[in-house]
A and B are shown apart, each in its own frame.
Chain A
């Protein structure tokens, strides 16, 4: 075999490489080979491209959103009665109809504000909020929607409970505060809670 110094870069050990190639044998085919060939064949079958799957999922989510959004958008007015007349439901029970449910601090705050004493009412509202468990915006929407649904189905007791929870939410308290201080900010409340606008005839 030739010496190392005689080899160029590409000829390095060419004699040994040839000897090696002459010395080796091909391993026989076995189960592993069959498995791999089968796996390669299966990959040729159609499968949904990833983009199509993602697009379909996005459409499904959007469709679900379109279906559920109207259902969870509560119809709210200032009326104290819970009825089946569409917009006659309220997410903000007044003291007259909900005094049995709303806790004392919140009721006192509402009463104060409705009497026109906005600053004291606001302070009472803040005390009421800090004293209560803060609920999430989603919880508010859910309870408001449930209250709306129960009211439509004339399940008044359930509606009152759901609306109580909604009223206890910091978001409802904020909305009530805005409504109590300035009726012209009603639209702002709608933005806050994302509800559908109530016809002026119902208010």
Chain B
């Protein structure tokens, strides 16, 4: 990012290629609507580009980037009034048989992995928004708990609790798979 601030265009391309997919997945899984997710995604990167001249490396770039994303999501929340209005509501747990693909020709173990992946993604979608956000920040951005707390403007203990609850819920939903 500092190289980009100094005018190195290739540095931005590198940053973009590194964080593009995690950020897009993060936003998409929180918002659910791909059009809105795309809009927020653009807003976040536009903020990065515009903030180039005033950027100060006080934290990792991932913390900076996902902090912007978090604030954009909060703005949407304020606009729509409630988290539930823009975030997908929790869905009931899905049993393993619901992920069976009749046309699959993969080895059985591979089929199981694919189905487990789908179940895991569905279970993540079913998490409450705040827990989902923390889990995704850990998964997509690889941020530590302290960094997640900074990015979301929460206390460390609250962040830790949310992650623990998220993991507990996921394990409960995936119990049929183990």
B166–A13 CB distance below 8 A: yes
Decide if A35 touches B167 in the complex (CB within 8 Å): no
Q: Mark A1-31, 1 if CB is under 8 A from B, else 0.
A: 1011001011011001101111110110000
Interface flag for B21 (CB, 8 Å): yes
Q: Total interface residues on B, using CB and 8 Å? A: 40
Chain B residues with CB under 8 Å of A184's CB are none
Contacts known (A40-B9, A40-B16, A43-B52); A27 close to B121, Cβ less than 8 A: no
A3 contacts across to B, CB distance below 8 A: 171
The main secondary structure of chain B at its interface with chain A is helix
Q: How far is the CB of B152 from chain A (nearest CB, A)?
A: 16
Q: Are A22 and B117 in contact (CB under 8 A)?
A: yes
Question: In the complex where A9-B160, A27-B25 touch, is A19 in contact with B46 (Cβ < 8 A)?
Answer: no
Work out how many contacts link A and B, with CB atoms closer than 8 A. 83
Contact between chains at B168 and A4 (CB < 8 Å): yes
Contact check, A17 vs B138: say whether CB atoms are below 8 A apart: yes
Residues of A within 8 A of B (CB): 1, 3-4, 7, 9-10, 12-13, 16-17, 19-24, 26-27, 32-33, 35-37, 39-41, 43-44
B residues 101-153 near A (Cβ < 8 Å) are 113, 116-118, 120-121, 124, 135, 138-139, 144-145
List chain B positions with a Cβ less than 8 A from chain A: 4, 7, 9, 12-13, 16, 20-21, 24-25, 38, 41-42, 45-46, 49-50, 52, 113, 116-118, 120-121, 124, 135, 138-139, 144-145, 160, 163-164, 166-168, 170-171, 174, 178
Query: Which chain B residues lie closer than 8 Å to A4 at the CB level?
Result: 164, 167-168, 171
A-B pairs, 8 with minimum CB distance: A23-B117, A13-B167, A26-B21, A40-B12, A36-B45, A20-B139, A17-B139, A40-B49
Complex contacts, B46 vs chain A, CB 8 Å: 36, 39
23 examples of A-B residue contacts, CB within 8 angstroms: A3-B171, A4-B168, A10-B144, A12-B167, A13-B163, A13-B166, A13-B167, A16-B135, A16-B167, A17-B138, A17-B139, A19-B116, A23-B117, A24-B25, A26-B21, A27-B24, A27-B25, A37-B13, A40-B12, A40-B13, A43-B50, A43-B52, A44-B7
